[in-house]
Structure 1
Amino acid sequence: MKRPHICLWRDLTLSDMETLERVESAEDVRRALSHLLSPEEKVCEPRASALLDLYYFTVRFCRDNGFTREQTSCLFSIMKEIHGTCVETSLGNVDECYQYFKELLLCHAVHRPPFSIAVFTQQQLPHISDYVLNTYFRHFKLYKYVFTPQVCLDLTVSYEEDSESPEQEENGNVTSTSRPLQEHEDQLLGQVVQEEGVETRTTSPGGRTEGRVETSTRFPKGRTEGRVETRTTSPEGIAGGRKGSGSLK
């Protein structure tokens, strides 16, 4: 945060105050203020109108309350300093600006040279605070929106091509799978992942039953084969059968 400093005769000199005292109408005061502004403050519309209104109503407030030339010049510079602090960043800094305003006002209310001087009386301080709060800080966001530039983010992302990976395909797309990774996947899957066989045999007094179950699975083609074979023999005769063979793809 900025350090408070004495603002007496900084923007409106004694000659400028004499010029303002010679004009009476609102249009003449506005015209005189527009000529007294520094060249960098002659901004385009609508900023120029808002800035001119801020300065005009500050001078009018000083006239209505019977401020002296020194007091009018000091309050004019305080308002200009507060406005400059407000628009120097696009971030919300209302608390910092108000704290800076209070320090500036106290800097011109206590006689302690060279750090501060007693320009305003103790009775004038509440009136000045109420005026600044009800005018500038009440419309702080509006001044912030009009006088601060819009911040736009233009984000561009670029990728550098790797010598090993990714590889460029014929259609212009980039594939991120390299040859060592493909070989690793082939080894992981394998041509034959699982092969197993189960053989069972059961004998009973009435006959003999033989059975055999064979299963096999192949990847990555995803083909599964299974086979079930059953044979039964009894004392009266021999009966053979075969059931349940099939394949799943």
Structure 2
Amino acid sequence: MTLSSQAGPRSAGIATTADSEGFRKVNVVTDVKLPHDLKAKVMIWNDLTLENLLELDVKWHNVNDVKEYLASIFNLETFKDNKQETVLIDLYYYTLQFSRKSNFTSEQTSALFSVIKSIHEAAVETPFNNLPQCYKYMKDLILCHSVKRPPFGIELFGPEEAKLVSEYIVNSYFRHFKLYKFVFTPKLQLDVSFNYKGIYESGSEVVSEEQESKPGTAATGLTVEVTEADEEEEEDETPAMKELKAIIQEELDKHLQQMKSTLEENIKTNDEAMNQKLQSIEETQMATAPGGKRPGSKGKKK
């Protein structure tokens, strides 16, 4: 995913990238750069040589020839089918068109082309927002090519030309910065998980203790199958751990037995109370009914 050789902080995550048709697909990205400051340097003849510019002048009357020549230089032969490469070719072509309209020299055209290409590579090297870093990088690059300060700078653009270049980059690239980021950078999905030290371990110990309860006990009435792995773990336990588990199991059995006894007593008490209430209601109904008959009962007709 890294397009620039400049080093920077890195992270990792799950990314969603666009294929050649523009559809999104999920990828696991383990090398994600974080936004960082970039150092400007002189870029004359970095990407386009004098021979390349002379060949472009010959082909300039035909737009398709120019784009195909640019694609051959930067290995973008599938730009007609790949949307990312199509956007790149358009970016390069309109940069050259602006240089011709501004009557820039070959040196100025080559430098401007490399400046815009470098800004784009810096912008899309991370899926995170790095607009402030890229804008500062653009100003440093223009200053680097506008002030005579060898070997850190060269006076290639005058004040008016530097202003013209700045306005063009802002209006053509930074105005559509988020669109370039959307097309060329993956969409990250952050999955966060927490592991609290001590709490999770104690919970797993309780679960293991419950699983080690005796099969068919009166407390649960369940049968627990002991696997070979459990037997191996029991063999690895120290005598102190076995004694501690036995004490805990004994206490648990006592409490469970007490809970069961209390529950049975409560159920028995509630049943007795309910029977007494039903008996008192029946006696009341028998006493209030005429002739000692139950309400609703009828004698035989003569």
**Pair 1:186-2:256 in alignment:** yes
Q: Give the length in aligned residue pairs.
A: 197
1:129-208 correspondence to structure 2 within 5 Å: 129-152=166-189, 164-165=208-209, 167=211, 179=249, 182-183=252-253, 185-186=255-256, 189=259, 191=261
Give, in angstroms, the shift of residue 133 of structure 1: 1.1
CA distance in 2 between partners of 1:42 and 1:165 (Å): 63
Match of 2:53? 17
Report the AA paired with residue 164 of structure 1: S
Q: Which residue is 1:229 aligned to?
A: none
Structure 1 position 116 matched with structure 2 position 153? yes
For 1:217-232, what aligned pairs fall within 5 Å after superposition? Answer: 218-219=262-263, 221-223=265-267
SS of the residue 2:45 aligns to? coil
1:65 aligns with 2:109: no
Letter in 1 for 2:132: D
* Distance in 1, Cα, partners of 2:255 & 2:132: 61
- Counterpart Cα distance in 2 of 1:86 and 1:13: 24
Q: Provide closer, same or farther for how the CA distance between residues 170 and 71 of structure 1 changes in structure 2, counting only shifts above 3 A.
A: farther
Deviations 1:63-88 (A, max 9, x none): 00111101100010011101111111
Where does the alignment leave 5 or more consecutive residues of structure 1 unmatched? Answer: 173-177, 192-217, 227-245
Partner letter of residue 59 of structure 2?
V
Change (3 A) 1:2 1:224: same
Counterparts of 1:40-79 in structure 2, within 5 Å, are: 45-79=82-116
Match for residue 273 of structure 2?
A: 247
Higher Cα Rg: structure 1 or 2? 1
Q: Is the 8 A contact 1:223 1:248 kept in 2?
A: no
Percent identity, aligned pairs only?
36
Q: TM-score, normalised by structure 1?
A: 0.66
Alignment map for 1:82-101 (pairs within 5 Å): 82-101=119-138
Cα 1:105–1:165 shift into 2, 3 Å: farther
Letter in 2 for 1:12: L
What CA distance in whole angstroms lies between the structure 1 residues aligned with 2:147 and 2:165?
Answer: 15
What is the letter of the counterpart of residue 120 of structure 2?
A: H
Contact preservation (8 Å) 1:55, 1:76: yes
TM-score by length of 2: 0.56
Q: Is the 1:190–1:219 Cα contact (8 Å) retained in structure 2?
A: yes
Partners of 1:89 and 1:41 lie apart in 2 by 25
The aligned amino acid for 1:82 is: I
**Amino acid of the residue matched to residue 253 of structure 2?**
E
SS at match of 1:10: coil
Greater fraction strand: 1
Shift of 1:123: 0.4
Counterpart check, 1:105 vs 2:142: yes
Residue 184 of structure 1, CA deviation: 6.3
AA at the equivalent of 1:125 = A
Shift of residue 164, structure 1, vs aligned partner: 3.5
For residues 202-238 of structure 1, the C-alpha deviation after alignment (integer angstroms, 9 at most, x for no partner) is xxxxxxxxxxxxxxxx546534859xxxxxxxxxxxx
Q: Which residue of 2 aligns with 1:4?
A: 40
Query: Matches of 1:180 and 1:80 in 2, distance apart?
Result: 75
SS of match in other structure, 2:209:
coil
CA RMSD, 1 decimal: 3.6
Residues 165 and 101 (structure 1), Cα distance of their counterparts in 2 relative to 1, 3 Å cut: farther
Q: Contact 2:211–2:224 (CA<8 Å) still a contact in 1?
A: no
Cα distance in 2 between the residues matched to 1:184 and 1:144: 66
Mark the CA change 1:126 to 1:151 in structure 2 (over 3 Å): closer, same or farther.
Answer: same
Q: 1:183 to 1:31 in 2, by over 3 A?
A: same
Select the residue among 51, 54, 70 that pairs with 1:33.
70
Q: Tell me by how many angstroms 1:148 deviates.
A: 1.3
* Aligned partners of 1:224 and 1:248 also within 8 Å: no
The CA deviation string for residues 107-150 of structure 1, in whole angstroms up to 9 with x for no partner, is 11110000111111100122111111111111111111111134
Cα distance in 2, alignment partners of residues 77 and 85 from structure 1: 12
